[in-house]
Structure 1
Amino acid sequence: PGWGSYDCYQNLSELSVFLPACLSACLPTYLHVCLPPCLSVYSPVINLSTCLSICNGPCMQQCSEVGGHARCSCFPGFFLKADGHSCEDENECVTNSHICQNSERCVNTLGSFVCERKSPCPVGYQLRNEVCEDIDECVVRSHNCDRGFECQNTEGSFLCKPKQTCLTGFTQDSHGNCIDVNECSTLLEPCSAGFNCINNVGSYTCQRKAIMCSQGYHSSPDGTHCIDLDECLTGVHGCDEGQVCYNLPGSFRCDCQTGYQYDATRQRCSDVNECWLYPGRLCAQKCENTPGSYQCSCTAGFSLAFDGKNCEDMNECDSSPCDQECANIYGSYQCYCRQGFYLKEDGHSCGDIDECSQSIGNLCAFKCVNVPGSYQCACPPKGFTMSTNGRTCRDIDECATGGHNCSSSQSCYNVQGSYKCLSFSCPLNYRKVSDMRCERSSCPAHSLDCQSTPLRITYHQLSFQTNIIIPAQIFRIGPSPAHSGDNIAISIIRGNEENYFSTRKLNSFMGAVYLQRQVREPRDFLIDVEMKLLRQGALTSFLARIYVFITANML
């Protein structure tokens, strides 16, 4: 093994000229045992650095000459070992170079592999007639015994027994090859004091001692003592990419760099995907894995904050994306057109409107009256007055001018073309802390009903026209200030029986109320929006009571 069998020696008489001592004591049947050490002893006579016609030169399987020197290679299913001439079976089942299906399991064989159907039987058994029977790996050739071993079947497994024994000075490895024993390292005191042990093939010799350094050390410049060899500095370490070399006395250690972890299957350092390992904890929005680290990024409409993790709303209006008017909203923006223009389908450009001829009515705020060669504008009889430009109608703020009939206990709220008289009072167990805010008084001990009521009730008034673009975000709600780890849930608990409104959670600390259905006629709504805040394991609720006034389109 490692040299071939005696069949490869083509001219024994020619060999006997060079190897009389060996061949005279060796029968042809055992040439594969005794010839390798003989070839090593007589290597000055027979050049083993080239591919001889006998035994592939120094190679175990295949030999080719390159530049007058032997280059060894292995058969398919084997790989070349570190000694440069021995071949070892490649376990395709471990390296995942097999082609077995998911319904099959891979079984390594010498130089190849076989695919077996998975069965409910233990390893080493197969299902036959509903009974698990032992698999004779030696017959089906699913064992992994090397050529120097014989396969012997056992119950549920097999054994690999050596075919041959080795001469004195040799030992048998796991592949059945006879390899030289290093007596200098295995014997307690192979040589007398003052002598160094030198290992030979099959034996050893003792030579008067000169300074000999152990592996990992080298002789000092003056040759009097051994000093440590820094493998990391000299680059003779075997650390892979992604590893850091640390020098040790007489050795070295390879550790994975930060952001890498050791993969025992592939025997190398693999990158740690921090984004999968800590989902949602490293970045506020998007996390992208990088070699040895990670990088945070934000979705459209947001920019990365200075800390490199959180995202801040980006004011897109600063870059003038709109043809005329731009309004920044959380995470996006909205383009608007000035009076006399309409927003095109691209959402950015504005087109001119032929008001009277197209009957759109935007030429005049309320009514366009055609006259020969021009037009005249008129306003509604109540709630508006004509602007100085003669085209638009200006809303009369009855609350500011005093033209309302609200009582002293009511608040006047101006809407387009009219006004509303609103009354704000706090429910039982609440105290009024401002004109628009009520806070819950302290709850009696063990009163779960009281503790489940909102901590704060705030009143808000919103006014829109019937031509508002649907869906429209009309209100945002969230804790102020927000804390890391906050999580909210919002819902409309009253006033949305006809499903004109909806809520949406924008992120963990911000929610919004949308007008999702077109309101064709002027109409008033009072909706209660509840926000539940989960902060540090405590759940608190807040109530926003919102008056929504939809007025007629006068522009």
Structure 2
Amino acid sequence: MPDGMTCEDTNECEQLQQPCTEGFNCVNTIGSYSCHRNIISCSRGYKASEDHARCIDIDECQMGTHHCNNEQICHNTPGSYRCECAQGYHMDPYSRACVDIDECQRYRGRVCTQNCENTMGSYQCSCGAGYKLAEDGRNCQDVDECEAGACSQQCVNVHGSYQCYCWPGYSLSPLDRTTCQDIDECSLTSTTLCTYRCVNTPGSFSCACPAGYILAQNGRNCKDLDECSLGTHNCSGAETCFNIQGGFKCLSFECPPNYRKVGQNQCERLSCQGYVECQTVPQRITYYQLSFPTNIRVPADIFRISPSPVYVGDNILLGITRGNEGLHFAIRRVDAYTGFVYLQLPPQAPREFLLDVEITLIRRGRATKFIARIHVFVTGPSL
């Protein structure tokens, strides 16, 4: 080497871009360099990385090197770990054991809107009758029982309950308060619904009448059906139809000997022999028809007798000569020329009477006899 010239060592650790691999430190030497493994010191809870370039956290929970008991949950923290209780439990400060939290007591009125039941590690909400648990599991919402058909007829929903009502003619059953049962109006004794017969129907009633009657417009009373005027009778052309309560009668009459028919209901005497016969044999027989019910109030005037026309001085003598067996009828006079046949004892059952009422008219000193032949039909009680 020429005089005056010296050689200097080159620091490869500074000049080279990456003289050593990761995890090794470069150490310069005279005329060269060497690589030495990097040795680091990590704090407790950490460990060196595989390249020994840095300290990394030790996960004690994953490695199972923690000291949490079986009831506790291990949570890793940087350089350490902590033991916690599962949700719904808290750690007893003395025994370090996990103890159930009674959420119903601790958070009274805040976790459930109605009923709260504590369970291990949790709680359960429930609702009273008429409510159901909402989707959030905490609140209660009203149950619309009417949508589920709680009532048999009409239903009104209210908060937490419902009320049943019935249509007219029905009443709510006292047993279940939901079923509507028909009211038998016909069995009610507080009022008379029908004059004859009451027929119960679902939710209502109807009135019925016996044969020979029709229902009046009010739907409750029965009125007589006049078969004679309606032409629904079966009388022959030679007979006369006479309407009675609940039916009709077909009537016809023949005049007795020595009489001839005049008009529709009279027989006139043809002749008489001598004064005595002419005074004692009726000059005229007139037929009448009457009808009344068995429950007629007595005494009841049923037939008026008076000459027509009336003259001054007229006087009449009256008597029932036939058909008054049982003495149901009697005569009463109003004045000298007027009298009435009246019912004094009503029959107990429907029946017929054929009364002959003899009228003797005394006019200007002469007596003339007449017969009123009265056909009386006593029907059943009036409706």
TM-score by length of 2: 0.48
Structure having the higher helix fraction is: 1
Higher RCO structure (Cα 8 Å, ≥6 apart) = 2
Instruction: Give the greater-gyration-radius structure (CA).
Output: 2
